[in-house]
Amino acid sequence: MWWCSAMRRRRSGLRKGVADQVPSHAEEVRQLFDAKAATWSEKYAPEGRLAGRLAQLAGAVGHHATSGERVLDLGCGTGELARYMAFMGLHATGCDISPEMLSHAAAADQSGAVGWVQLDPNWRTLPFDADTFDVVVAASVLEYVDSPDDFLRECARVLRPSGILLCTVPDPAHPMRWLEWLAGKTLALAPLRAASENWPRLSRYLAYLRISRQRRPVGWWHATASHAGLTAALPTHAPPRSPLRILTLSA
C-alpha cells in the first residue's frame, strides 16, 4: 500500500539523517586534535613531557637525511619537528588534517622555512608526486588511521627509492597500554560518560581511547609494511620507558 511505502521512505530518511550527523572516524580524529591544538606545543617545550621524543626523532632524521634533502612530517601537529628539520638544512614539509594545529605551526614559523599543507580528514592520496621525499616521518599517526596498509602504501609511493619512513606505533606490551585498556572499560560506564559531557578533559580522553584504534604487535606492522612495499631497515625498538615503538622502514 502507498502508506507502507511512504513509511519505509520516512524511516529510511530518518536513518540517513542520523547517519549524516555522525562524524566519520577521521573527522573525530580532526576534532580531537583541533581541541588539543592550543596547548599542544607545550608538550615539546624544553621541560615538556615530549621533549625527549622530539630530540630522538630529530636525531633519527639526521641519521638518514643530509642537508638539502626533502623530508615530510606527516601528521606534523604544531610543527616542532618540521621546523627543527628545516633548521637542520632540510627542505621540510609538514601536513596535518587539523587546521588548528597547522595554524599554530605556521604562526610559529616566522621565517617561512617549512611548507605547510592541509589534508582532508578523509584523504586517500597524498598531494605529492611519486618519489618526492628522502625521509617521511609519521609520529603517533598510525594508531589513528582506518587503513594502515593504504597509509603505508602512500608513504611508499611518495618516498624516493631507498627512502626511509620513520614512524612510531603504540607498544601493546607497555604497562600504559594495559592501563588504557582498563580505563576504557571503566570510562565506558554510563555515569562516567554522562559526567564527561561537563568535563572537557575527560571527554577528550574518552575520545582518544575510542579512536586510537591500531594497537598491534611489531610483527603485524612489519607484515603490513611489507605488503605496502616497505622493508624493515633497522631492528624495531622501544625508547627507554616509552609506550611507543619506533619503526624504521625502507622503500
φ and ψ of 57, to 5 deg: -65, -40
Residue 193's pLDDT is: 63
Measured distance CA(221)–CA(124) in Å, rounded: 20
- Spatial neighbors of 207 by CB under 8 A, at least 6 apart, are 28, 31, 32
Rounded percentage of the chain residues whose pLDDT exceeds 70: 82
94 located within any domain? yes
For 136, phi then psi, to 5°, come to: -120, 135
Please state which of the ranges 41-50, 155-164, 200-209 shows the lowest mean pLDDT.
Answer: 200-209
Kindly indicate the confidence band of residue 5, based on its pLDDT and cuts at 50, 70 and 90. Answer: very low
Q: Cell 529510511 maps to which residue?
A: 12
Average confidence (pLDDT) over 227-249? 82
The pLDDT of residue 243 is above 70: yes
Question: For the chain, how big is the Rg over CA atoms in Å?
Answer: 20
Whether residue 46 is contained in a domain is answered as yes
Cell numbers standing for residue 229: 612495499
Task: Confirm whether 119 is domain-assigned.
Answer: yes
Q: What was the pLDDT predicted at 188?
A: 66
Strand partners, 166: 137, 248
Decide if 96 contacts 76 (C-beta within 8 A): yes
CA distance readout (Å), 84 to 114, 128, 135, 139, 202: 10, 22, 14, 14, 32
Mean pLDDT of 144-165: 97
Q: What is the largest CA-CA distance in the chain?
A: 74
Q: Phi/psi at 133 (nearest 5 deg)?
A: -115, 145
CA 185 – CA 6 distance, rounded (Å): 42
Domain assignment present for residue 213? The answer is yes
Within-domain flag for 5: no
Check the CA dihedral 245-168-90-101 and report its sign. Answer: negative
pLDDT at 30: 95
Question: Residue 133: pLDDT above 90?
Answer: yes
Q: Tell me how crowded residue 123 is: count the other CB atoms within 10 A of its CB.
A: 14
Residue at 16 is within a domain: no
Per the structure, the count of domains in the chain is 1
Q: Is the pLDDT of residue 18 over 50?
A: no
32 is a domain residue: yes
Residue 219 belongs to what H/E stretch? helix 218-227
Q: What is the pLDDT of residue 21?
A: 59
**Three-class secondary structure of residue 179 per DSSP:** helix
For 161-197, what is each residue's pLDDT tens digit? 999 999 999 988 877 777 777 777 676 666 666 666 6
Ranges of H-type helices in 43-125:
51-64, 80-87, 99-108
Residue indicated by cell numbers 608513504: 155
- 145: domain range? 25-250
In a domain, 17, yes or no: no
pLDDT single digits (tens) 90-108? 999 999 999 999 999 999 9
Residue 158 pLDDT exceeds 80: yes
**Residue 239: its pLDDT value, please?**
62
The residue behind cell 507502507 is 4
Q: Residue 214 maps to which CATH number?
A: 3.40.50.150
> 245: which strand partners?
169
- Averaged pLDDT, 67-78: 98
